[in-house]
Amino acid sequence: MTALATATRRHGEALDCPDELALKVVDQLQPVHIARIMTYLKLSNIRRGYLLNFNVKLLKEGIKRVSL
């Protein structure tokens, strides 16, 4: 899994709400993947994260938002 801490931007200005982004290529997202990103969120003090699975026909089917 690749994890990236990203900063949310609006109109070119960085907002004070960074996100955690995890990129995956798996058949299905498993509970262990969600648990892992939850750990990343807790340790980095970030409230929201996304899991992206590229092994799907439509990318929107592979996006999972995770919040603390």
Sequence-ordered list of residues with C-beta below 8 angstroms from that of 57, at least 6 positions apart, any chain: none
State the pTM of this model. Answer: 0.63
Q: What pLDDT, on the 0 to 100 scale, is given for residue 58?
A: 92
Please give the chain's pLDDT, 68 residues, in tens. 555 555 555 555 555 556 666 766 788 888 988 898 888 888 888 888 888 888 889 989 988 888 88
- Closest to 53 in 3D by CA, of 45, 65, 44: 65
Q: What pLDDT, on the 0 to 100 scale, is given for residue 54?
A: 84
Q: What pLDDT, on the 0 to 100 scale, is given for residue 20?
A: 65
Q: What pLDDT, on the 0 to 100 scale, is given for residue 18?
A: 60
Sequence-ordered list of residues with C-beta below 8 angstroms from that of 43, at least 6 positions apart, any chain: none
Domain boundaries, the chain: 2-67
